Structure 1
Amino acid sequence: MAGENEQVIWFEHLRRTDVARVGGKNASLGEMIQDLTPKGIAVPAGFATTAEAYWHYVDANGIRDKIAALIGDWQQGKAGLAETGAAIRKLFLRGEWPDDLAAAIQIAYAALSRRMDVDEIAVAVRSSATAEDLADASFAGQQESFLNIRGKRALLDACRRCYASLFTDRAISYRQTKGFEHLKVALSIGVQQMVRSDRAGSGVMFSIDTETGFNKIVLINAAWGLGENVVQGAVDPDEYQVFKPFLDSHALSPIIARKCGTKAKKMILGSLEEPTRNVPTSRSERISFVLDDQAILRLARWASLIEAHYGCPMDIEWARDGESGNLFIVQARPETVQSTQRAGILKSYKVRHRGRTLVEGLAIGDAVASGRVCMIETADDIDRFIDGSILVTATTDPDWVPIMKRAAAIVTDHGGRTSHAAIVSRELGLPAVVGTGKATLLLHTGAEVTVSCAEGDQGFVYEGLAEYEAETLDVNDLPATRTQVMLNLANPGTALRWWRLPADGVGLARMEFVISNAIRIHPMALVHFDRLKDRAAKDQIAVLTQGYEDKSDYFVDNLARGLARIAAVVHPNPAIVRLSDFKTNEYAGLLGGAEFEPKEENPMLGFRGASRYYSPRYREGFALECRAIRKLRNEIGFTNVVVMVPFCRSVAEAEKVLQVMAENGLKRGDDGLEIYVMCEIPSNVILAGDFARHFDGFSIGSNDLTQLTLGVDRDAGDLADLFDEQDPAVKWMISHVITEAGKAGAKIGICGQAPSDYPDFAAFLVECGINSISVTPDSFVAVKRRVAEAERR
């Protein structure tokens, strides 16, 4: 620990045990410099003033009793918060520096400049309260920081303003709410080498998924220029997600999500009079990613090391120096929301009936809220906010916290998952939709709306008061079962929220959902982009594939990463990915698709599933699917992915498909690759033994098997009573194929809806000896209990 009477201490002499003397921020910087720089993590050099220095300044100016009196008047209701804060800050700003303290700061600044071989080095001057960056209270953004400060006089002025910022209105309010005594909290100042990220980029990262608490993810936000815009939510940043368990292997690139933000402006260094200023970004900067894959992975590895060292999920600020290209960690503190959630309890919301979508953005949290809009354009109008309303604004900063606490939900034009609005909304447990781009343009005060963050990564604001319901799932003390209970997942955007379910894997991941929602383009339109006749579709495709010289790579990258997010949820358990099973009319609905699809009278029984994969009409498109699976397994690292072939009508067709897959680098058995087949056609049941010689397992698709066994269109309203998955003929089919699979030593499961809907059906499957049952996440707990009960019987 640092010496008892020092007023200035170099970071390298500090430990995290020094929070009481230099605050959480500076103690953490010292801890990292001492213990993590030897492991390759770069932290800018600097020094900290101590709590003793703060009290020395307070007492030298005789303001301790005055602060106490002003706070007392406010607590007794004799003065308003704004009046009190302004009066206290004025006491600090009019104060004079004690000679010894001023000299200590100036001597340290001169020494830092010499270390960097600069006459007067530019520094970041950052506040670090002694009650800050704690595990149960982040104090995010409560005090001020000042960037690009150069020269001894400017440094002392910035330090004085840091002291004053301990009594911003928001800081006073936050301490009062959290139960901290105002005159027992001191402020340390960190003076740190300025990283020239104004010429490169910077941002924030978390060693945990901020919305779901999934602990195997590093989430990184990035924007051009200095990092204040990302923290404040003033820009819509890039977003990257990295799967931590694969980071030890430098042969893998486990980036499972990349989203390019609009990044409309950047903060750069200015003059002595105006140390920083915002300027518009160029078109090239707006459409380009701030970080390449190598930088993303380096930051993710650093986040993992920092988390391992501190023993808890971390909230980390990083910056890249535009002159050297080097990355730096400039701050690290404990994450204070997801890491404190009660284990084993999941709350699931469903929106039943809703109005039209008004705006959409990033979903913060997973709840739903309805109410009337109250639009506040600037902090000057905060007094107009109506309690319980939906707060709509361009962006928020710490001055907004008092009214954010009184809102039912929050909607902003700008910001990412690490912005102020997002962080505070999580702390308050409020749903928020950030980065909508146009909420303040399209929504108006008094309008009734519903804010939904329950539908995945994207959050939606719907017109009117929607009907919704909330369900609490308790996954504590679920019984163990011999029969595996797995999940049906399709949407990568919602997959991570189910990571706490003790599932045995993903029994069905539908590739076509990722294609239709994340890619939106027919694969053949990418392969043959130059020959497309539809001008409008061609223009849309050109916009979506910006940055891809080979447009086929857009399909491969986005499909692989979408499926990776599903596989990540259950890793190392298996994730069974079904190859595309669009019908021709559905394929034609993709951008550019109409030029490549035939018109069929009965697409349900037409050119679908396995028959497409070896056909000259689609074979090049299928090759892209195979490339995506190879990338998913071999480059990203998810070798737990099993591939499944849908609607395979005959053994001869199976042989053709397996041959085409092998030609495209997916040979059964290579690198542990397993290939399953859907059992959804009577021929799959009748010739189960023959199919088992070509595949490692079966997955029963009970919907298609029922309609083809009974000859009933499942969508025919007049025949709805005849469509019954529990019909004796259907149950015979299922029982027979389970028996035959068992004889052949092949695995067999079911991914239909029946086990979720009918308790007796789950018991029937257990009695037949099925290996696995795959259900929707909201049915998992009930089905798991039914299976356990059936096994006991």
Structure 2
Amino acid sequence: MSDSKYVLWFKQIGKGDTARVGGKSANLGEMVNKVNVPVPPGFATTSEAYQQFLEYNKLKDLIKDTLTGLDTHDMRALAQAGNRIRSAIQRAEMPRNLEHQIIDAYKKLGVMVSQLNPLVAVRSSATAEDLPGASFAGQQDTYLNISGEKKVIQKVKDCYASLFTNRAISYRVDKGFSHFDVSLSVVFQKMVKSDTAVSGVMFTIDPDSGFNNVITINGSYGLGEYVVQGIVTPDEFIVFKPKMTIIEKKLGTKKVKLVRSKVGNSEKKVSKEDSSRFCLTDKQVNSLAEYGRKIEDHYRCPMDIEWALDGDTKKLYIVQARPETVHAVGDSNKLRKYVLEGKGKLLFSGLAIGRKISTGKVNIIKSASEIHKFKKGDVLVTKMTDPDWEPIMKIASAIVTDEGGRTSHAAIVSREMGVPCVVGSEVATSILKTGRMVTVDCSDGDGNVYGGVLKFRIDEKDLKTIPVTKTDVMINLGEPNQAFSLAKLPVKGVGLAREEFIILSEVKAHPMKLISDGKSELYTNALATGIGKICAAFYPRPVIVRLSDFKTDEYRTLDGGDKFEPEEDNPMIGWRGSSRYYDKDFLPA
């Protein structure tokens, strides 16, 4: 530790210093000192600096008077209270001794990176964040590409003020934290030039099922805020830890990116060429996965990590890391399965967050100014959420967004709150209308939205009560998206992985059509991914894969199937099984 009261460099702090510099700062220091991963240099202000700022400006009484008796479910009252406190903090004067220490450290950072007025990322680091069961995800503000002494000091005040955003006030009340038990550190970190490259988020588990043998990486072009906020639907890469190999790649739409401009940061469209290709090479994915594994090994728990690729140096950096907070507090011996019993019209699908089902009335919210219109039990439908929406997310029966990936704000917060969520649907706000009743089903690994209120049930099982049998018990499985969730079952493996169901869920087109269209690689990749996910989920237990036993009438339901399948009076005894596999008409597949 340093003798400095208000400013500490990363090399002077570690994970034991959360009370002094907050979770974000402490974890950056820990990685710099104890983990062999690349972290941009920087420093952090202390909780003493924050307390000094409040006392110098006599702000504690104002905060106490404003928040005492506040009903955080009254959206208008919450907004008024938050605005009053934030305005007072932003107008307040920075104590001279504190200002000098921050500016001196900023200048030293410039010398370290050989830049006058270096570009920095300025991040809030609360002393109560990144805790088991309470991530405080996005509760306080971050500012990117900040340069100059005056702007640096102003951003410190802006970060202090963000401790009293509407969402932060509401979140602390819900989690049982006193507003005065939380202090704020401000992190200053050399800016990684990812606006000309790529950035994103990495979980060292599957964030939905909690399956811990994979690393999940989301990435998109430009600054990482668009991935975190869910403004873009990013690429996704799944790496199997025991072999450190990529078992799945999903191409995101990546329509826009956030880049540095002459005045702050601005949005730019991503070219069709760039959006149609993966933003990371396999080598870069494997490098990130190795960093993730090192961090997880050091902390001995699953981790939620932010990363960035520098467009100039082409070097990957870790810019944040924190313990994963949802599955860390779950009971791995409890199996709770939601089962959809009713049938209805499928309106659209997206990425499933969680494995629950819920019903409710659609309420389309376009901006934070409309959140007072939201009612408890409504289904929140929007283009994307941001941290300001937390007060209504916690009372929603379900959440559906047009954009975003499995590591976006909407996904992280909905998991923590136990609210079923569908992200990246692309069409929710155009298809749904406010007032319509819908069913949101995330139970089978896909995020499906149905018209109307469909019946469902909840099956619960304590895995510890399942008896051990002399006979090896194995399961039948055909949906790869269910594999990670089912891996916790006390079974000896998969007795039957049905290839036809993998074709139906992953390919959705007749194999001969894909081959004739010159897309045979799409077919083989989809099969390899589906089988690979099932095998990874149950590793090292055996998985027996049966080749497709679809009948002609079932193959005809696939895209293009009517062109390649005969019409048979009795498909049960027709062109199927081995008779299909040695037929020259099907041999290419």
Measured against the shorter chain, the TM-score band is over 0.9
Alignment correspondent of 1:467 = 455
1:402-457 superposed Cα distances (whole Å, 9 cap, x missing partner): 1111111111111111111111111111111111112111111221111111122x
Q: TM-score, normalised by structure 2?
A: 0.96
Amino acid at match of 1:298: S
Alignment correspondent of 1:270 = 261
2:349 to 336, 350, 360: 360
1:498 to partner: Cα distance: 0.7
Contact 1:584-1:600 within 8 A present in 2 as well: yes
Where do 1:147-162 residues align within 5 Å? 147-162=144-159
Where do 1:471-550 residues align within 5 Å? 471-529=459-517
**SS of 1:388 mapped into structure 2:** coil
Where do 1:141-220 residues align within 5 Å? 141-220=138-217
1:50 to 46, 53, 58: 46
Alignment correspondent of 1:224 = 221
Amino acid at match of 2:438: V
1:140 to partner: Cα distance: 0.6
1:493 to partner: Cα distance: 1.3
Alignment correspondent of 1:718 = none
- Provide the C-alpha distance between the structure 1 equivalents of 2:375 and 2:431, rounded to a whole number of angstroms: 19
Contact 1:5-1:52 within 8 A present in 2 as well: no
- Please give the root-mean-square deviation of Cα atoms over the aligned residues, in Å: 1.9
Amino acid at match of 2:451: E
Contact 1:354-1:465 within 8 A present in 2 as well: no
Q: Are 1:259 and 2:234 counterparts?
A: no
Amino acid at match of 1:179: G
Where do 1:573-722 residues align within 5 Å? 573-621=541-589
Amino acid at match of 1:297: N
Alignment correspondent of 1:558 = 526
Amino acid at match of 1:556: T
**SS of 1:615 mapped into structure 2:** coil
Quickly say closer, same or farther: Cα 1:588–1:84, change in 2 above 3 A.
closer
2:275 to 283, 286, 291: 286
Q: Are 1:448 and 2:424 counterparts?
A: no
Alignment correspondent of 1:34 = 33
Amino acid at match of 1:270: S
- Provide the C-alpha distance between the structure 2 equivalents of 1:184 and 1:370, rounded to a whole number of angstroms: 38
Where do 1:397-476 residues align within 5 Å? 397-456=386-445, 458-476=446-464
Contact 1:489-1:508 within 8 A present in 2 as well: yes
Alignment correspondent of 1:698 = none
Contact 1:354-1:464 within 8 A present in 2 as well: no
The share of aligned pairs that are identical, in percent, is 48
**SS of 1:494 mapped into structure 2:** helix
1:47 to partner: Cα distance: 0.6
Amino acid at match of 1:128: S
**SS of 1:218 mapped into structure 2:** strand
Q: Are 1:121 and 2:118 counterparts?
A: yes
1:65 to partner: Cα distance: 2.6
Alignment correspondent of 1:704 = none
Amino acid at match of 1:56: Q
Alignment correspondent of 1:325 = 314
1:353 to partner: Cα distance: 1.8
1:595 to partner: Cα distance: 4.3
Alignment correspondent of 2:63 = 67
1:492 to partner: Cα distance: 0.6
**SS of 2:537 mapped into structure 1:** helix
- Provide the C-alpha distance between the structure 1 equivalents of 2:136 and 2:295, rounded to a whole number of angstroms: 20
**SS of 1:391 mapped into structure 2:** strand
**SS of 2:366 mapped into structure 1:** coil
**SS of 2:464 mapped into structure 1:** coil
- Provide the C-alpha distance between the structure 1 equivalents of 2:28 and 2:564, rounded to a whole number of angstroms: 58
Amino acid at match of 2:461: L
- Provide the C-alpha distance between the structure 2 equivalents of 1:452 and 1:113, rounded to a whole number of angstroms: 51
1:586 to partner: Cα distance: 3.1
1:594 to partner: Cα distance: 4.2
1:76 to partner: Cα distance: 11
Alignment correspondent of 1:14 = 13
Q: TM-score, normalised by structure 1?
A: 0.72
Which deviates more from structure 2 when the two are superposed, residues 612-621 or residues 114-123? 612-621
- Provide the C-alpha distance between the structure 1 equivalents of 2:559 and 2:348, rounded to a whole number of angstroms: 23
- Provide the C-alpha distance between the structure 1 equivalents of 2:318 and 2:420, rounded to a whole number of angstroms: 30
1:667-725 superposed Cα distances (whole Å, 9 cap, x missing partner): xxxxxxxxxxxxxxxxxxxxxxxxxxxxxxxxxxxxxxxxxxxxxxxxxxxxxxxxxxx
- Higher Rg of the two aligned structures: 1
**SS of 1:485 mapped into structure 2:** coil
1:502-546 superposed Cα distances (whole Å, 9 cap, x missing partner): 11010000111122331233333444436xxxxxxxxxxxxxxxx
Structure with higher helix content: 1
Where do 1:721-732 residues align within 5 Å? none
1:564 to partner: Cα distance: 0.9
**SS of 2:473 mapped into structure 1:** strand
1:11 to partner: Cα distance: 0.6
**SS of 2:456 mapped into structure 1:** strand
Contact 1:241-1:257 within 8 A present in 2 as well: yes
Alignment correspondent of 1:652 = none
Quickly say closer, same or farther: Cα 1:161–1:462, change in 2 above 3 A.
same
Amino acid at match of 1:505: G
Alignment correspondent of 2:92 = 95
- Provide the C-alpha distance between the structure 2 equivalents of 1:414 and 1:25, rounded to a whole number of angstroms: 27
Contact 2:72-2:78 within 8 A present in 1 as well: no
1:222 to partner: Cα distance: 1.0
- Provide the C-alpha distance between the structure 1 equivalents of 2:61 and 2:556, rounded to a whole number of angstroms: 76
1:596 to partner: Cα distance: 4.0
1:643-674 superposed Cα distances (whole Å, 9 cap, x missing partner): xxxxxxxxxxxxxxxxxxxxxxxxxxxxxxxx
Quickly say closer, same or farther: Cα 1:577–1:101, change in 2 above 3 A.
same
Contact 1:24-1:129 within 8 A present in 2 as well: yes
**SS of 2:31 mapped into structure 1:** helix
1:724-758 superposed Cα distances (whole Å, 9 cap, x missing partner): xxxxxxxxxxxxxxxxxxxxxxxxxxxxxxxxxxx
Contact 2:133-2:328 within 8 A present in 1 as well: no
- Provide the C-alpha distance between the structure 2 equivalents of 1:374 and 1:80, rounded to a whole number of angstroms: 21
1:220 to partner: Cα distance: 1.2
Contact 1:525-1:593 within 8 A present in 2 as well: yes
Quickly say closer, same or farther: Cα 1:136–1:596, change in 2 above 3 A.
closer
Amino acid at match of 2:570: N
1:605 to partner: Cα distance: 2.1
Amino acid at match of 2:311: G
1:261-311 superposed Cα distances (whole Å, 9 cap, x missing partner): 11111100122xx31111221111221111111111111121121111111
1:97 to partner: Cα distance: 1.9
Which protein has greater RCO, CA pairs closer than 8 Å, 6+ apart? 2
1:299 to 288, 297, 305: 288
Contact 2:2-2:12 within 8 A present in 1 as well: no
Quickly say closer, same or farther: Cα 1:440–1:50, change in 2 above 3 A.
same
Contact 2:132-2:326 within 8 A present in 1 as well: no
Amino acid at match of 2:252: G
Unaligned runs of 5+ residues in structure 1 are 248-253, 531-550, 622-793
**SS of 2:70 mapped into structure 1:** helix
Amino acid at match of 1:476: K
Contact 2:371-2:389 within 8 A present in 1 as well: yes
